[in-house]
Chains A and B, each alone.
Chain A
Amino acid sequence: MDAARFQVRPRPVGDPGEQPARAAIATERLSAWFGTNHVVKEITVAFPQHKVTALIGPSGCGKSTFIRCLNRMHEVVPGARVGGAVWMDGMNVYQEGVDPVLIRRRVGMVFQKPNPFPTLSVYDNVVAGLRLNGERKKAALNAAAEEALRGAALWDEVKDHLQAPGTSFSGGQQQRLCIARALAVKPEVLLMDEPCSALDPIATAKIEELIYQLKDRVTVGIVTHNMQQAARVSDFTGFLLMGELVEFSATEKIFTNPGDSRTEAYITGRFG
């Protein structure tokens, strides 16, 4: 494919010191529908490698739907449809013949509500992705479990309770367990759909710190309705309104000197 390296430079970058990064994943005029309801409208955006990119916007602006399009999770809902392209390493994720299963192994996802597998222990939860994809070797599973749990800053809390049910831990721990489970399959991109909205402030702070550390391993895309959270954890921020991307820029610029009056209205709390 000649468009092999689809590089997208994050548009209006505010911080001049910021080097244009290669995109781990990028969308091109991406649209999404539920039935006839057009919820994501021609969004073109890139997620720079090993950075945290946040998408903010009021409830119902399409940010969750948008992020679910990136790893082809949108289409599991009956009646859902996608238009446009999502690029990874020069490959359109929506090209005919691309197996969504393989995309989801490369682009992991963490959901709003912690959703550990209800019948499984901590250990089994973390290695579920590997096992279900065919890994049988005990040593490999053990190593992957420890690495993923360390990566999710959960190892010290659960290392003596690996056989306890995953659902027996606190909400914040369960969410980090879900992050560990996603990390265990070694994705290139980790998408987070309002990962803290069901958690208390302390658990939220832990996850935010974790997101910051995760940058070394993966590219992070996070959807949040919490603007302070976006400001704290992200390098780049996009503001969505009614299914459209209003503005995308370095986080610092969005929050100090937004280019669009609607962005300014939103971040100063005048609506949304």
Chain B
Amino acid sequence: MSLALRHRVNWIALGMTGLCALATVSVLFFLLGYIAVNGIGALNWDFFTKLPKPVGETGGGMANAIVGTGKLLLLASLIGVPVGFFGGVYLAELGRGKLAFAVRYATDVLNGVPSIVVGIFAYVLVVLPMKSFSTLAGGVALGIMMIPIAVRSTEEFLRLVPASVREAAYALGVPQWKTLFFVVVPAAMRGLLTGVLLDLARVAGETAPLLFTALNNRVWSHGWLEPVSSLPVMIFTYAISPYDDWHRQAWAAALVLMILVLAVNVGARLFLPRRRGIA
């Protein structure tokens, strides 16, 4: 093979990798741009402060859906974060042999369960016995969705803490549980928080698990036991409606949801503290 040919092959290979990388990134920017262009027009102060208007009237907003998404995410974290954290601690620090393998495998399977199935599960678990769609049911569904990723990210970030750090603590006569919670977890804190935030960002956009748990609501939802509106379900409902005004609002809702998720993503990477004290 001549040198000129090698150069050409090299150039082609380099070009291909660059092109594929560009394609990946451009999908994101195309998506963001398209949603921004379509959504920005319908975005106004009313969108954040007003309730949806009755069918046929134009205007109104999605204040209830924004608050609803917040409430659902809060409930989901209350379930997903502790279960995921302690499950991850078990896998990273304590679990050995067959049981740990089974837990890890089950976690991965749970992660692969279609979200609509998780919704059905929460429906049977919460909605049927309580005879009502509710924020609680939606939160449970999203919480279950959070668990597998929380478990695996906790496990991964705890494993990243070098063995030498643990050994240093053991050699000082520090018991295992104190080493774990006052040395290893603080050392991994940044990663752990990032994992939780990314997990939250992921479930923030889930629609299917909410369809028959949280349902939807065109007015304010009081407390935790009433059906509640959320941004993804509103996008779904408005997008398949026959009204132009609703379509515009669906774009706006999509834009708000994307900005929310992006803000959490970027914030998680930029603002989390790098250093943490112990004890």
Contact = CB atoms under 8 A, between A and B. Distances in A.
B279 A132 contact: yes
Interface stretch (A42-50, A80-88, A104-112): A104-112
B279 A76 contact: no
Nearest to B175: A101
A249 interface: no
A132 B168 contact: no
A103 B175 CA distance: 11
A73 B167 contact: yes
Contacts of B162: 115
A182 B167 CA distance: 12
Per DSSP, chain B at the interface is: helix
A159 B187 CA distance: 25
A115 B275 contact: no
A230 to B, nearest CB: 22
A117 B170 contact: no
Interface stretch (A17-25, A118-126, A202-210): A118-126
A104 to B, nearest CB: 4
B172 A129 contact: yes
A71 interface: yes
Contacts of B277: 119-120, 124
A106 B11 CA distance: 64
Contacts of A76: 166-167, 170
Contacts, number: 84
B173 A115 contact: no
A131 B183 CA distance: 12
B96 A115 contact: no
Interface residues of A, number: 31
B175 to A, nearest CB: 5
B172 A181 contact: yes
Given A117-B278, A119-B276, A133 B173 contact: yes
Contact of A117 (B96, B178, B183): B183
Given A73-B171, A124-B277, A117 B164 contact: no
26 contacts: A71-B171, A76-B166, A78-B96, A101-B175, A104-B171, A108-B172, A109-B171, A111-B164, A111-B167, A111-B171, A113-B164, A117-B165, A117-B187, A119-B186, A128-B172, A128-B174, A129-B174, A131-B279, A132-B174, A132-B178, A132-B279, A133-B172, A165-B275, A178-B168, A181-B172, A182-B172
Given A78-B96, A115-B164, A119-B277, 13 more contacts: A76-B166, A102-B173, A104-B172, A105-B173, A108-B171, A109-B167, A115-B167, A117-B169, A124-B277, A128-B169, A128-B174, A129-B173, A132-B178
